[in-house]
Amino acid sequence: MSGVVANRVRQGFYLDSVALMRIAAQVEALDGVENAALMIGTPANMEILAAAGLLAEGSREATPRDLIIAVRAAEEEALETALGQAETLLLRPRGENRPGAAGAQWRPKTLRGAARRMEGANLALISVPGAFAAAEAHRALREGLHVLLFSDNVSLEEELALKTEARERGLLVMGPDCGTAIIGGVPLAFANVVPRGNVGIVSASGTGLQEVSSIIARLGGGVSHGIGTGGRDLSDAVGGLTTFAAIDALEADPATTHIVLLSKPLSPKVAARVLERVANGTKPFTICFLGLDLSDLAVNIPSNAALAATLQEAAERPLGASLLQHEPPPPAVPARPGGVRGLFAGGTLCAEAQAILLKGGKQVYSNAPIPGARPASGSNGAAHLLLDLGADEFTVGHPHPMMEPGPRNKMVTETLREKDVAVVLLDVVLGHGAHEDPAAGLALAVAETAAFGPDRPHVVASVCGTEGDPQGRAAQVEKLREAGVVVAPSNAAAAVLALQIAGGNR
Amino acid sequence: MAELNGHGNELDDLVPEGGELGAVMRLPVTQAGRRATNLLRAPLPGRVAHVFERCFYLENSRGEMACVGEPSIGAGPLNALLGDQDVDVWPGAPWWRLLRPGHRYTSKGGEVWVGNGLVLCVRNASLWRAPHPARTLDRRLLECHLRGFRRAAQQAAPKEGLSFLVTGSPPPEADSLRGAIAAQAVRAVIPLSHWLAGQPEAGVSPEPGAPNKAAYSQPPPAAEALLGLGPGLTPSGDDLICGLLLALQALDRPAVAHALAQWALPLARHRCSPLSAAHLSAAAEGEGASALHELLQGLGRDATWTAEPHISALAGHGHTSGWDALAGVWLAMSVYAATAP
């Protein structure tokens, strides 16, 4: 082996193994350093060092109580620098040799440790592989913490057990698979920057909560709390345990004067129970249950509740405002033969678009069909096909399109080649957790298709977000418009426009 | 056990120059393992050996060790747990900053005086003992559990350490330090697994009387490379042996465990750190981290058993320690599943 080797032995020194390996990696990255290792001086480790050509004469005297710093470098100068750097790193205050550590900060390893570190902490956000998530959530509940369970792949039985325990303890379990919440003005997971205000939101859908809270913000309103429940909460099996607990919490919250309930298609039985709960409520409600005709239920709509057919309407009603009075409508677009092809990052936005097309008398196909729509098949031709690209079949082994829009952009380009497509309908979701500049790649993908000629399908999009979001909504809208995308003020408005463009097509 | 009971880094540089506590701080020990109890109650002086984030180690003049820490470190033979009500004194608390390796301690009248003003009250501490599996082992159930164990491990295992033995993933590339450790471990584990497979089953042993030395051979020399293998204070190879010892006892193969312990403990005196040697010694007596015992209570015995909660609990033991111990459990259990009649 080439180079020069030197060791330093620190008697009685110890550090955890990961910190030692991290320091070794940092030293190894220095100019002229060929190899570096920091290990306690056991015979087994000395054999490893010797085999790697890292053990210097004299170091065999080290004992298992000692730490050996071993470096091989191209020349003496680099060697001395590396050994000195290793010593410096070893002496850094506790915690600084850990990933992401900015100083001598204690980093909790358990929920209990974290909870006790922050006096008054009352919520744990859990994002671990699904198989481990329920156990962590139970721990959090036992610590008296509300839970936002970001993890998916939590079984229905585990969800029920968690929510039952939470109810007994007077706590909330948001999730599993809860991607969005805004608690006390703090956006959690995928959420937008919205001001605090008087509207409380309970939502079984992540992008539904994002769309409604963003439009509320753009209308000049604010959100007291946005509570995600998890997509299965309003199923027969779970029975709306978190929804009911969230309604109770918002009714007790003096800062909340109006409550919005949102869901993708849900159990009619549970919907009826929710309406009964609303009827007993003390505050006004706006209810938007996409894909469910509440008039079919054997329950009267409570006098303190208003129904909203779209997410936009659900945001407008509490404020008594109209989005079209705040933001200009999209320009008129000529009709074109062919179908609507929706490529959605947000599952609820896909469901909302389906509901609007179904209401417009269209036959709709989707990989996530709402009642009335049909399952997508291999070839839907000129049919109206709306895809939820965040569904499992598109995201197993791949990032969600909200985080990595590249694969969808490629699909947009490919779809714009299709002759029997009238309009490509898209959502662009901004906020924390989303891609830092989703419009840029999409604009590029659309701009590249200008060469396809004037017969190319139209592209209609909505941008879910606010000016306060890290991406800035206005800049994102502008990038899309410059590329020839027609940007509607909401997902519902975009779907209505798509319906108008493809209006002549069944 | 690489940090199985150790949870952090050295604090020397955080200790204020000449720092003194303004007053004596008394903390009650609520529960302690057998070895910890013996050390804390014995009228022998000693010193602070190591200080970590959540715990510190005391070592007496006989070289025995105890780990004093917050309840989240879990129960174990060496562990003395401080009451919940006192946990809020932990991060950044004055006594924690003032303790440093080398500080003296003395024990008298149910109290242990440490350093300049920390007093541990051990009078009312309850004794923790390792539980023994209550249900009969079912080999078919064990095979089923091992499959679930591997699937769960694949989702959560760290890159470092010996967890690749559990997940079945390829070991790291041999041209890295991690890879060299892994390769050395594999070279030791393969003959060790053959040795395990070749040992007589439970029932052949004359235990609890004197072991039949003729029936139980020594582990192969290649296995020696595991002892002290790994960079940290309690190396990965030692953790694996600890897990293996506990699993063999849970499998009702005490004579095999005895043969392994008889081989490992003398070697550990010069191949392992004193802390590692103390954990190995406790494991040889059938006691280890409570999380390991809880896993072994149900593995192959309880139809409702699932791996995930146990993996979660052990994953909190150092960065790789819990996983390395799991590798030892996996070794014992998978050999048993493959060879038992």
CA distance A57 to A78: 19
Given a cut of 70, whether residue A95 has pLDDT beyond it is: no
Out of A109-123, B115-129, B284-298, least confident range: A109-123
The yes-or-no verdict on residue B10 having pLDDT over 50 is no
pLDDT-based confidence at B95, cuts 50/70/90? low
Average pLDDT value over all residues in chain B:
83
Considering only CB atoms, B13 lies closest to which of A40, A91, A128, namely A91
Average pLDDT over residues A268-297: 90
Q: Give residues with Cβ within 8 angstroms of A188, minimum separation 6.
A: A125, A148, A180, A181, A182
- ipTM exceeding 0.85, yes/no: no
Cβ distance of A40 and B271 shorter than 8 Å: no
Please list every residue in chain A whose beta carbon sits closer than 8 Å to the beta carbon of residue B224. Answer: 44
* Most confident among B91-100, B159-168, B255-264 (mean pLDDT): B255-264
> Residue B308: which of A21, A48, A132 has the nearest Cβ?
A132
B3 and A17 within 8 Å at the Cβ level: the answer is: yes
Which residues from B are below 8 Å from A94, CB to CB? 8-11, 13-14, 53
pLDDT tens digit string along B141-196?
A: 999 999 999 998 988 888 888 999 999 988 887 777 888 899 999 999 999 999 99
Q: What is the dihedral angle through the alpha carbons of A470, A471, A472, A476, rounded to the nearest 10 degrees?
A: -170
Mean pLDDT of A349-357: 96
Residue of chain A nearest B87, judged by CA positions: A116
pLDDT for B55 beyond 80: yes
Q: Which residue type is seen at A2?
A: S
Q: What is the pLDDT of residue B232?
A: 84
- Asked if B10 and B103 touch (Cβ cutoff 8 Å), the reply is no
Give pLDDT, residue A97. 45
Which pLDDT value is given to residue B257? 94
Q: Tell me the average pLDDT of chain A.
A: 90
Out of A85-99, A220-234, A479-493, which region has the weakest mean confidence (pLDDT)? A85-99
Measure the CA–CA gap between A406 and A399, rounded to whole angstroms: 10
Q: Beta partners for A40?
A: A67
Instruction: Choose from A135-149, A240-254, A391-405 the range with maximum mean pLDDT.
Output: A240-254
**Residue A108 confidence class, pLDDT cut points 50, 70, 90:** low
Q: What is the pLDDT of residue B108?
A: 87
Cβ-based burial of A372 (10 A; exposed 0-12, middle 13-18, buried ≥19): middle
Cβ contact, residue pair B87, A112, below 8 Å: yes
Q: Is A184 exposed, middle or buried (0-12, 13-18, 19+ CB in 10 A)?
A: exposed
- Best probe of the A interface among B10, B103, B239, by most A CBs < 10 A, is B10
Which stretch of A90-104, A130-144, A319-333, B57-71 has the lowest confidence by average pLDDT?
A90-104
Give pLDDT, residue A11. Answer: 85
Q: How far apart are CA A223 and CA A406, in angstroms?
A: 32
Q: Are A362 and A383 in contact (CB under 8 A)?
A: no
Reported as a pLDDT band with limits 50, 70 and 90, residue A291 is confident
* Distances A297 to A264, A356, B313 between C-alpha atoms, Å: 16, 20, 47
Q: Does B273 touch chain A (CB under 8 A)?
A: yes
Q: Which of B90, B231, B236 sits opposite A20 (nearest CB)?
A: B231
- Tell me the C-alpha distance between A416 and A449, whole Å: 7
Interface test with B, best of A20, A34, A45 (most B CBs within 10 A): A45
Is residue B233 within 8 angstroms of chain A, CB to CB? Answer: yes
Q: Looking at per-residue confidence, does A128 or A251 come out higher?
A: A251
Q: Are strands A258-263 and A458-464 parallel, antiparallel or unpaired?
A: unpaired
Residue range A13-41, pLDDT digits in tens: 777 777 888 888 889 889 999 989 999 99
- Mean per-residue pLDDT for A132-138? 88
CA distance A87 to chain B (A): 13
CB B276 within 8 A of CB B1: yes
CA-based angle A368:A373:A378, to the nearest 5? 65
Q: How confident is the model at residue B92 (pLDDT cuts 50, 70, 90)?
A: very low
Cross-chain residue pair A17–B236, CB shorter than 8 Å = yes
At A352, the amino acid letter reads: E
Closest-CA residue of A relative to B181 is A48
Torsion angle of C-alpha atoms B310, B311, B313, B315, degrees rounded to 10: 160
**Residues in contact with A399: Cβ distance below 8 Å, sequence separation at least 6, in sequence order:** none
Query: In terms of CA atoms, which chain B residue is nearest residue A91?
Result: B13
pTM: 0.63
In the predicted model, what is the mean pLDDT of residues A244-266? 95
Q: Do B273 and A17 touch (CB under 8 A)?
A: no
Q: What's the pLDDT score for residue A451?
A: 80
Mean pLDDT of A117-131: 84
Contacts of B75 (CB under 8 A, 6+ apart): B31, B33, B81, B128, B289, B290
Question: Residue A386 forms beta bridges with which residues?
Answer: A342, A366
Cβ of A48 within 8 Å of Cβ of B181? The answer is: yes
Q: Is the pLDDT of residue A104 over 50?
A: no
Q: Residue A469 and residue B21: Cα distance in Å, rounded?
A: 48
For chain A, what percent of residues have pLDDT higher than 70?
94
Given a cut of 70, whether residue B78 has pLDDT beyond it is: yes
Tell me which of B187 and A152 has the higher pLDDT. Answer: B187
pLDDT at A117 over 50: yes
The beta-carbon neighbor of A21 closest among B3, B160, B272 is: B160
> Mind telling me how many Å the CA of B18 is from chain A's nearest CA?
18
pLDDT at position B206 is: 44
Lowest mean pLDDT across A19-28, A95-104, A328-337, B9-18: B9-18
- Residue B177 Cα, gap to closest chain A Cα (Å): 7
**Residue A285: burial class (beta carbons within 10 Å; 0-12, 13-18, 19+):** buried
The answer to whether A183 and A222 are in contact (CB under 8 A) is no
Chain B residue nearest residue A40, CA to CA: B231
Least confident of A8-12, A450-454, B259-263: A450-454
pLDDT at A94 over 60: no
Single out the residue of B43, B121, B37, B110 nearest to residue B79, CA to CA: B37
pLDDT in tens, A355-382: 999 999 999 999 999 999 999 876 556 6
Gap between the Cα atoms of A350 and A381, Å rounded: 19
Q: What percent of chain B has pLDDT over 90?
A: 51
Please judge whether B272 and A42 are an interchain contact, meaning their C-beta atoms are less than 8 angstroms apart: yes
Q: Are the Cβ atoms of B14 and A43 closer than 8 angstroms?
A: no
